[in-house]
């Protein structure tokens, strides 16, 4: 270690002074702080003048404002297909250091730390619930290596770089390295929708982001517990004993609480309507009791509780997961705005060139080395590996846990605790902006962009959805059926159709529903409200001209105004082709048949041969799929293949070439 000290000193000197020398600035008067203060005064003067009077003494206005900004940021992210973290950060900086409307430490007072701790506890518990151990065992080798060897490599390189370039103490550098291993689906998934990489790259990145979220958070909690236990002048044996007590108590509380709560849910000792709120209270109780038993063990306890509960069999978790997804979304959004409002922009400027060198170490050394070792012997091409090596943005979980850890360390008197949050936020912002701006262009240059999608997402695995899926699959169009009815999905799977179990518009589907290769959506559920919601949800993904829904049935739409509004949408097939009519036709033995038209046997001849047919879809000679719409019927020509629902007593008609 002694041999490294001269090198470390030189690197620190370069990081602090190289930029100033290049610009011809003397380093006597801390130029970063002067520039930061000048910019802040210039930008903030107007906002503060008009905002302070309006906001002072109005805590309800600020609380509502945080909620409004949370929803607005998520909506903007959905509109432009960018990670929401960018807009949340901008909102926090706007109402915090820029306008001066929100000073979290003054506004929340002594409640700030408990509120942030409990919010992070819920986020970690929800992450633990989604970690399925059997999914890890079933993952491909590259993903498993990214989650094991890759985590260790990123942790070590990030810690060493923080120690060398930012002059963090060894314990804080190790903690920072553990925090930065977390990428997270909240950032990865919006990027994948924009980039549209090849299916193999998308699969690796998606699973890495989903599974590394709770694993990385658990690692960060364990490392923090070790750092917290090593504070002061304790000898190594005392430090190890303190750390062991934290881990044992956290594991004990987590396992016991997870098992007991699983028994309560499995045996229905609680009414269904109490599951969500009671589970939330249980998480708060476990975190608080564990911290009372041994300080710093609460976050570990709730993470283990979530993992244990999520892997127990026979537990009705669907409602809890949906509730926790919505709650976590609100908590994450509000929490990130509050955390961003606590950042002092001049502290970011003071990080200087050392932070930039740290970023380059993560981007150009840690990630490429991780991907190289993780993909050895895999079928991934070198082009796909290069793209994987470029994409690894850090997310909201890293920001949340860094804030909690920094508060704990500040209370314990750690001299560098104030550096942890701005450094983490810098890495988050830099990786998200850099990779969001360049990954699509890099994928195009490398030629690993997914070709125009031909597949069809079918909402509803009922008889109509299954019949459509079989007909499309027979013509080599990829399909994916989505439903919340497990019986429907079992029948579809026995017919050889790919399925997804869950609500297609839920946060769980946002994370786990892969849309790779899919370009259109057909909503054929018997629930008109779900069809409408799915159309709105996937319009941003596929485009409004690529999402279709069945016409609502009789009695669903009462007023002529509402019916007119629905008539403007992309309704499927025919104005009278409701779910009831199509299901009845199929129930009487009707079939979806594919017929290729020719000059001798065109569309008119085909219609005369099948008097009661309903034209559903058609494939042109170029292999493109077209949907027959109620407001715009297809004009079929020779060479097209028509998919129609024909009555049971009509014979199969094959066109003559």
Residue 333: pLDDT over 70: yes
Residues 588 and 163: their CA atoms lie apart, in Å, by 73
pLDDT band at 365 (very low <50, low <70, confident <90, very high): very high
Cα 9 from chain centroid (whole Å)? 40
Cβ distance 447 to 386 under 8 Å?
Answer: no
Asked whether 409 and 156 are in contact (CB, 8 A), the reply is: no
Is-contact 83 191, C-beta < 8 A?
A: yes
Report the DSSP pairing between strands 625-627 and 614-619: antiparallel
Q: Which of 2-6, 107-111, 194-198, 384-388 has the highest mean pLDDT?
A: 384-388
Rg of the Cα trace of the chain?
28
% residues pLDDT > 70 (the chain) = 81
Q: Per CATH, which fold does 455-646 belong to?
A: Rossmann fold (3.40.50)
In angstroms, the CA 408 to CA 420 distance is: 11
Q: Range with the lowest mean pLDDT among 32-46, 72-86, 594-608? A: 32-46
For the chain, domain boundaries: 4-446, 455-646
Q: Which of 52-61, 149-158, 615-624 has the highest mean pLDDT?
A: 149-158
Tokens 């991780």 locate to 370
pLDDT score recorded for residue 39: 44
- Binning pLDDT at 50, 70 and 90, where does residue 511 land? low
Euclidean distance between the first and final Cα of the chain, in Å?
81
pLDDT for the residue numbered 46: 44
- pTM value surpassing 0.85: no
Q: What percent of the chain has pLDDT over 90?
A: 4
Mean pLDDT (whole number) for 66-73: 87
Give the mean model confidence (pLDDT) for residues 339-360: 80
pLDDT(12) > 60: no
Mean pLDDT of 396-413: 80
Q: What is the 3-state secondary structure (H, E, C) of 257-315?
A: HHHHHHHHHHCCCCCHHHHHHHHHHHHHHHHHHHHHHCCCCHHHHHHHHHHHHHCCCCC
Cα torsion 283, 286, 288, 293 to 10°: value is: -170
The pLDDT value recorded for residue 461 is 87
What is the rounded distance in angstroms from the CA atom of residue 562 to the CA atom of residue 557?
6
pLDDT, tens only, 272-298: 788 888 888 898 999 899 888 887 688
Check pLDDT > 80 for residue 441: yes
User: 368: pLDDT confidence band, cut at 50, 70 and 90?
Assistant: very high
Q: Which residues pair with 571 in a beta bridge?
A: 549
Mean pLDDT of 175-183: 86
CA distance 357 to 361: 6
Q: Give the residue, 653 or 514, on which the prediction is more confident.
A: 514
pLDDT of 18 over the 50 cut: no
Residue scoring higher pLDDT (372 or 206):
372
CATH of domain 4-446: 1.20.1530.20
Given a cut of 50, whether residue 48 has pLDDT beyond it is: no
List % helix, strand, coil for the chain (3-state, nearest 5). 65, 5, 25
- pLDDT per residue as tens digits for the range 475-495: 888 889 998 888 888 888 888
Tens of pLDDT, residues 227-247: 777 655 555 677 677 778 888
**Cβ atoms 590, 645 nearer than 8 A:** yes
Per-residue pLDDT, averaged over 431-458, amounts to 84
Q: What is the pLDDT of residue 13?
A: 47
Residue 34 CB contacts under 8 Å (≥ 6 apart), including other chains: none
**Whether the predicted pLDDT of 36 surpasses 60:** no
Asked if residue 562 has pLDDT above 50, the reply is no
- pLDDT above 50: residue 583: yes
The more confidently predicted of residues 628 and 457 is: 457
- The residue-averaged pLDDT of 448-460 equals 83
pLDDT at residue 554, as a whole number: 57
Give the model's pLDDT for residue 34. 46
Q: What does pLDDT average to over the chain?
A: 77
């Amino acid at each position: 270690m002694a041999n490294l000290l001269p090198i470390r000193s030189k690197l620190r000197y370069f990081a602090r002074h190289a930029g100033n020398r290049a610009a011809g600035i003397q380093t006597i008067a801390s130029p970063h702080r002067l520039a930061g203060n000048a910019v802040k005064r210039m930008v903030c003067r107007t906002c503060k003048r008009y905002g302070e009077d309006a906001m002072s003494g109005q805590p309800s206005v600020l609380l509502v404002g945080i909620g409004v900004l949370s929803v607005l940021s998520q909506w903007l992210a959905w509109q432009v297909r960018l990670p929401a973290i960018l807009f949340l950060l901008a909102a926090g900086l706007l109402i915090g250091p820029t306008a001066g409307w929100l000073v979290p430490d003054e506004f929340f007072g002594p409640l700030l730390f408990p509120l942030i701790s409990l919010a992070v506890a819920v986020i970690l518990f929800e992450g633990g619930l989604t970690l399925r151990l059997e999914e890890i065992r079933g993952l491909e080798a590259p993903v498993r290596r990214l989650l094991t060897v890759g985590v260790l490599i990123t942790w070590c390189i990030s810690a060493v770089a923080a120690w060398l370039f930012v002059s963090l103490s060894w314990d804080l550098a190790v903690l920072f390295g553990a925090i930065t291993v977390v990428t997270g689906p909240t950032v990865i998934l919006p990027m994948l929708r924009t980039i549209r990489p090849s299916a193999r790259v998308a699969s690796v990145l998606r699973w890495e982001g989903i599974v590394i979220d709770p694993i990385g958070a658990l690692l960060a909690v364990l490392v923090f517990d070790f750092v917290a236990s090593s504070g002061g002048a304790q000898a190594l044996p005392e430090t190890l004993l303190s750390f062991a007590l934290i881990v044992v108590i956290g594991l004990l509380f987590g396992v016991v609480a997870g098992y007991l709560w699983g028994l309560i849910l499995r045996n229905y000792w609680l009414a269904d309507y109490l599951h969500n709120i009671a589970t939330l209270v249980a998480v708060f109780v476990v975190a608080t009791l564990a911290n009372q038993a041994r300080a710093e063990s609460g976050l570990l306890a709730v993470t283990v509780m979530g993992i244990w509960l999520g892997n127990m069999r026979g537990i009705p978790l669907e409602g809890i997961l949906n509730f926790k997804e919505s709650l976590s979304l609100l908590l994450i959004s509000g929490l990130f705005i509050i955390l961003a409002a606590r950042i002092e922009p001049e502290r970011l400027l003071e990080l200087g060139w050392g932070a930039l060198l740290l970023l380059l170490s993560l981007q150009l050394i840690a990630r490429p080395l991780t991907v190289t070792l993780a993909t050895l012997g895999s079928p991934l091409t070198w082009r796909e590996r290069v793209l994987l090596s470029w994409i690894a943005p850090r997310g909201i979980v890293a920001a949340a846990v860094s804030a909690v850890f920094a508060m704990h360390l500040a209370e314990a008197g750690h001299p560098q605790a104030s550096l942890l949050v701005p450094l983490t936020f810098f890495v988050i912002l830099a990786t998200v902006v850099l990779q969001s701006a360049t990954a699509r262009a890099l994928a195009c240059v490398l030629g690993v962009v997914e070709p125009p999608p031909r597949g069809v997402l079918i909402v509803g695995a009922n008889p109509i959805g299954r019949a459509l899926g079989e007909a499309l699959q027979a013509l080599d169009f990829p399909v994916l059926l989505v439903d919340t009815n497990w019986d429907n999905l079992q029948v579809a799977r026995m017919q050889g159709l790919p399925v997804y179990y869950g609500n297609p518009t839920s946060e769980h589907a946002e994370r786990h529903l892969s849309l790779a290769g899919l370009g259109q959506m057909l909503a054929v559920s018997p629930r008109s409200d779900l069809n409408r919601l799915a159309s709105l949800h996937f319009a941003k993904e596929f485009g409004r001209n690529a999402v279709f829904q069945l016409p609502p049935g009789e009695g669903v739409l009462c007023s002529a105004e509402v019916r007119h509004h629905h008539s403007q949408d992309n309704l499927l097939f025919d104005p009278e082709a409701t779910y009831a009519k199509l299901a009845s036709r199929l129930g009487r033995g009707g079939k979806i048949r594919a017929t290729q038209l020719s000059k001798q046997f065109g569309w008119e001849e085909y219609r005369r041969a099948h008097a009661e047919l309903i034209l559903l879809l058609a494939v042109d000679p170029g292999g493109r799929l077209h949907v027959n719409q109620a407001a715009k019927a297809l004009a079929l020509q020779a060479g097209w293949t028509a998919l129609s629902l024909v009555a049971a007593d009509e014979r199969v008609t094959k066109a003559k070439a």
